[in-house]
Structure 1
């Protein structure tokens, strides 16, 4: 049995390399291969675009401020408030410094004396003598300094009193100074920018920045800034980007940069930041707010729970993409609301403004310097066009009908003025389901060019779906896989992603762009896992998935060389295990739980009339479970995932029945089956997602994937539901109150062995890419046919224990490159849990 790209099976063999017709040693028999890879040298495979793999940047996990944006001062313009996060104020991250005498007054002011209309707040410092001021705590542990390194500082200040203002980098209480410098503020009472350079005399990771006045006065301070001078330098010169993070992204050699994010693009208000709109604090990301002089860019409440300064804005994204040779791919809001947010019908009057803003964005990127927005680009330092070719509209939209109406208006307006721009639609937040199918049907009906798919799934899902795009319509819209990742950060997750990527390459005629997500994570401020690159204040490291992405991006090739893999075939695994009961921010009660065989024989039963739950064990150790009035009750309405399990069920054919009642809370209830442990189970989530949908999910090693879903289904409080789950091997039918609700067959098997072969036109190299995502080595016969290849090749292997991670303290998963002999036909034993690239020059 064979098919292109991936093969189902297990393997066991010793490590060796033997050309066909030769033995490992004299008289030894030829090895018996577990797999055979056969190249069809007569066929022409799909062309692979230079932009096949890219990166997706979103300001999540403090990826911009405190991350890629090199600014070290937190809340530099005193704009933080409770809209950003609970407890935030204009003085968050600041302390008052008393130079002696009466305590100074540091007041955040929003009045007509402000720096400008967009920068609403500033600090008014009232002091009775020199040495009074404020101290910034920086991000995380503080300012990371290197001995001998220089730092570029600046401040906007105004005062009626001429004085010397001091910048000092100190320890936490100001008793040790690591660097200091001064600026002379005049007494003109006009806002002016003052700049200086500091040189550190020590290497520390927890410094503070004190800014103090030199005289008794009332002084205004704003935009207090400090950046390391050693920043990223690209084609556009010295940037405002943190050097090590920018370099790690550049080292990936991405074909595109998608920006400025996902959920931050299309959530919150779509109104502009204007006096007429009362300067809304929580807005969708709107590009015009992020360009021009940095002091004129208004800050915004970030969807992920903090403030974004917009110091890293559209101009910086465009120049960075150009610096690293990547295609810029901005995404604009479709004036709805995605990411689980409600539909903002009352803001549809903003639609035409956003469409015009998108046309202006294209002019900013591509227009001549004589145009309005092209001139702004030139004024910012880039007279030449950026060469924008693709733009996305919307992100993970939950309302397909409303979205397509808005999208078509965007698309038609863009095409009328810029016919060569590819306008990208999307398919919602899931890889399947009603919303996904409706999006795709509308995209096909409206002749959409490209569709942005997003999904985060278990490693099992990725190993089961290598052929996902094999059956896509070759004449339909192309796919931009804008966000994907396996739901953990272990090497096994990265192996599953690597196996999946061989399928993306095999289908390069359909999948034109793909980006792992998210890109960056500040280890001390995490809203989402997993992530590709991790960092703290002074160092950064790549995850195991970073190593996989880097290997693929640096060895893409220009076209697929058709090949097939054959080998042993795995069989589907019947669904066995215990019954589970759970809640998620609800209280619920269960009764008359029974497991029976198809002939009616009782395998397990509990009516709780004995007053105890001795047959049940907690798996999540959350919630408050007790037997009350002959029912098993969970009463904590804030606890999530309160899973408890009954005795194991070994049968492969059985029925689960019970009565379930939600008594309070935000959602419904969850019924588990096939429960092995806390990370491996199936459950029927009735009334999940704030009681808006019902879904069957499969958890593998803690990562969940959706098997079937019904939108718009809710659970009624205090109604007793009759639940039945019928399992027949891998086939499952679910009933609610006697009516069939779902059915599915989980008969897809894991494919631990995957491969693809590509050709690099520039070098003439043939690149054989093999993933062995199992605990045993895979002896593989490789037949390159009549391809004219050299006898020597470069082999790069990434391998390790599937449970290993790359962390701040150690990065065990790293590539190893060696030279090997490669006849046109040979055996290669691929290491357990490995990704191997063999790059073979032309003969």
Structure 2
């Protein structure tokens, strides 16, 4: 067994501050149908095909007498909620039912639920409300609402379930000889997290609270900046002022991720949730540019967008003598929310955003110099857009730069020292989204090893949050995610428990230390990039010609030419193979048809069907030139990205030069990608030591990504009679909904001065409290 000895220096290092937090975005039905406790889907009859092709005004509802029911707009509840259901039960009762999300609503015996509805009646009318299961068995006693008011009135009932059901239905029955208009039909569990009105699901709130996050980033994500510039459009960018106030007056909107978003979980509720979690709020606002559709607010019309940012700070922090501070108090929170952080933009690419960012920055700095401002560097770990974001942040003095990347485990192991050489005097890095692309235990262990590097570099990395927080298992848009759920079950991923450990035992300062006696790291995949090369289609029609391979290792620089060809759909044309460590490929290509948002790929360095490199030309929404690596199980890492668009019917000249593991590209003679592909490096053990200055308790985190145990001597008195907490599993372990946690969590009292770090484990040695 490998053996090492811990030595602790008698001094403190960098403070960790608010290092580890969480990121919430309404994708994967994380809000509607998830965290937001509303049980009715399409409560206001506002679903439309613009949100999703399958949607219509009565989506998620069933009606037993459809001829007696009509969706109308001539007498709306308000201008933001135009559709309502008109029911005329002249002969017999009309029953409408809502199944909620997933397979139905979750009802628990002896639990109560708050039903509410807005009603306008043309004559004296009667509505009966019942809970049922999927077999139409009643789960509650029927309750009746009687009304004869012709104007819209809100009615509420508390319903008690008498039996359990995971596939329940809400039944609203309009009794005979009634004529009513119905809108905002709602059902909420009376027990929400922290008992908040219009709040969040208690079980999902509890699993967040158990993490003890230092901050919460919201409401996204691409959700923030994808949309039109008109705030009154259904498809507008996210505008926070539309998400506060009475829920019946909040407009519905098209969600970026292909469904309807009610805005029931709005900025006021986000601030409340952060407060209830003991987490600092970190809102993200659009910067007047939509990179998905190239929509940009003219700079001379940017002031309303800047005012939105200034007003949000006033809403969060202003006293009741201010306009927006008064609005917060009227909503029920007279005390400020103590906002410290504000992000402008989300993984932005393109110069238009960075032309607009300074106007936000300067206005906020002038009025609120205490607010820590977060700039952005795109969705990639290096390249032109990454550099553009950092350049902007340094020029204008942003406090943080938001970095996003999703990579294979090998990339994280190769980049353990990514932040070692960042400038501690410049803006700090904020990992607003990161993950190793799967929810298996090996991914979580490797992420833990990387997080130790974030801790170690806390003077350069200020904030970090694992990517998307929630996924409703029946509505996935994106993986990986941290917590999976359905209408009645919650299943934290194995990655969740790593994040929880780091948050629960973060400490306040680093402590310099060393573990001596362990062997040097193992270097893997350090071979030169050699193998097969060729082309691959990416849903565009592309012709290629003048393909030339140049071997620079020979004195004569031998050249080989290949036949011209045409790519369509996902066609692959492999052209040749090389063992040279220094070579170039040049070729011309023209897009002639197919999807306008796509291009094609150059495959190179292919050694097996699974392992190869790609030069992605076009890429996501035809905006990229990317050097990508694909490995085991089709996992991918984007090593370098530059912004580039492939126009139709234009012949481009491409060149790629590979020298051992260095890759450089050019298009029409202009340099683009330039990256050294680092080899995978595996250390026998990863560690970091922190201290909580208040309790004087020390935390030694130890991560083992190998299949060999490691013994560590910890004779320092700081850990006498301490506790050793271990997270253990086989590399392929993955938690599934409806199953118990497959991760072994073990905590023992340490009687000796030695701990054993098991293979594939994440651990913390917890010192005694002084």
* TM-score with structure 1 setting the length: 0.84
Matched, 1:441 2:391: yes
| Equivalent pair of 2:377/2:386 in contact (CA under 8 Å) | yes
Matched, 1:819 2:744: no
Q: Which residue in 2 is equivalent to 1:194?
A: 155
Q: Which residue in 2 is equivalent to 1:509?
A: 459
1:230 counterpart SS class: coil
Matched, 1:358 2:309: yes
Matched, 1:150 2:112: yes
| Equivalent pair of 1:582/1:671 in contact (CA under 8 Å) | yes
Q: For 1:540-576, what per-residue CA distance to the aligned partner results, in whole angstroms no more than 9, with x for missing partners?
A: 1111110110010000011101124563233423334
Matched, 1:288 2:241: yes
Distance 1:710 1:368, change over 3 A: closer
Q: Which residue in 1 is equivalent to 2:72?
A: 109
Matched, 1:399 2:332: no
| Equivalent pair of 1:79/1:90 in contact (CA under 8 Å) | yes
2:212 counterpart SS class: coil
Gaps of 5+ in 1: 1-12, 14-31, 274-279, 608-629
Matched, 1:46 2:40: no
Equivalent positions of 1:651-690 (< 5 A) are: 662-665=591-594, 666=596, 667-690=598-621
Distance 1:657 1:429, change over 3 A: closer
Q: Which residue in 2 is equivalent to 1:255?
A: 214
Q: Which residue in 2 is equivalent to 1:71?
A: 38
Q: Which residue in 2 is equivalent to 1:622?
A: none
CA distance in 1, matches of 2:675, 2:355: 33
Q: Which residue in 2 is equivalent to 1:221?
A: 182
1:313 aligned to which of 256, 266, 271: 266
Q: Which residue in 2 is equivalent to 1:488?
A: 438
| Equivalent pair of 1:686/1:715 in contact (CA under 8 Å) | no
CA distance in 1, matches of 2:670, 2:197: 66
Deviation at 1:724, TM superposition (A): 6.4
Deviation at 1:685, TM superposition (A): 1.5
Deviation at 1:190, TM superposition (A): 1.4
CA distance in 2, matches of 1:426, 1:635: 35
Distance 1:358 1:819, change over 3 A: same
Deviation at 1:731, TM superposition (A): 3.6
1:526 aligned to which of 464, 469, 476: 476
Deviation at 1:781, TM superposition (A): 4.5
2:625 aligned to which of 671, 674, 694: 694
Q: Which residue in 2 is equivalent to 1:19?
A: none
CA distance in 2, matches of 1:579, 1:835: 40
CA distance in 2, matches of 1:428, 1:165: 53
Distance 1:841 1:203, change over 3 A: same
| Equivalent pair of 2:381/2:639 in contact (CA under 8 Å) | no
Deviation at 1:304, TM superposition (A): 0.9
Deviation at 1:253, TM superposition (A): 0.2
CA distance in 2, matches of 1:454, 1:535: 25
| Equivalent pair of 1:495/1:833 in contact (CA under 8 Å) | yes
Deviation at 1:473, TM superposition (A): 1.2
Deviation at 1:178, TM superposition (A): 2.2
CA distance in 2, matches of 1:739, 1:386: 49
Equivalent positions of 1:165-564 (< 5 A) are: 165-172=127-134, 175-233=136-194, 237=196, 240-273=199-232, 280-338=233-291, 340-345=292-297, 348=299, 350-400=301-351, 402-564=352-514
2:154 counterpart SS class: strand
| Equivalent pair of 1:114/1:120 in contact (CA under 8 Å) | yes
Deviation at 1:68, TM superposition (A): 0.3
| Equivalent pair of 2:704/2:761 in contact (CA under 8 Å) | yes
Q: Which residue in 2 is equivalent to 1:610?
A: none
CA distance in 2, matches of 1:489, 1:453: 21
Matched, 1:573 2:527: yes
CA distance in 2, matches of 1:385, 1:736: 53
Distance 1:464 1:71, change over 3 A: same
Distance 1:167 1:650, change over 3 A: farther
| Equivalent pair of 2:380/2:640 in contact (CA under 8 Å) | no
CA distance in 2, matches of 1:363, 1:700: 49
Distance 1:645 1:301, change over 3 A: same
Distance 1:176 1:434, change over 3 A: same
CA distance in 1, matches of 2:259, 2:725: 41
Equivalent positions of 1:28-39 (< 5 A) are: 33=3, 36=4, 38-39=6-7
Q: Which residue in 2 is equivalent to 1:95?
A: 62
Deviation at 1:783, TM superposition (A): 6.1
- Is 386-395 or 553-562 further displaced after alignment? 386-395
1:220 counterpart SS class: strand
Q: Which residue in 1 is equivalent to 2:539?
A: 585
Distance 1:168 1:407, change over 3 A: same
2:416 counterpart SS class: coil
Deviation at 1:509, TM superposition (A): 1.6
Q: For 1:345-395, what per-residue CA distance to the aligned partner results, in whole angstroms no more than 9, with x for missing partners?
A: 45x565211222222222222222333322222222222221112211111
Q: Which residue in 2 is equivalent to 1:710?
A: 642
CA distance in 2, matches of 1:414, 1:730: 44
| Equivalent pair of 1:104/1:127 in contact (CA under 8 Å) | no
| Equivalent pair of 1:679/1:699 in contact (CA under 8 Å) | yes
CA distance in 2, matches of 1:261, 1:39: 42
| Equivalent pair of 1:39/1:561 in contact (CA under 8 Å) | no
Distance 1:549 1:580, change over 3 A: farther
Root mean square deviation, CA, Å: 3.0
Distance 1:316 1:186, change over 3 A: same
| Equivalent pair of 1:793/1:841 in contact (CA under 8 Å) | yes
- Across the two proteins, how many residue pairs are aligned to each other? 760
CA distance in 2, matches of 1:222, 1:434: 50
Distance 1:167 1:499, change over 3 A: same
Distance 1:548 1:370, change over 3 A: same
* TM-score with structure 2 setting the length: 0.91
| Equivalent pair of 2:691/2:697 in contact (CA under 8 Å) | yes
Distance 1:137 1:506, change over 3 A: same
| Equivalent pair of 2:383/2:673 in contact (CA under 8 Å) | no
CA distance in 1, matches of 2:321, 2:626: 55
Gaps of 5+ in 2: none
CA distance in 1, matches of 2:5, 2:293: 47
Deviation at 1:213, TM superposition (A): 0.9
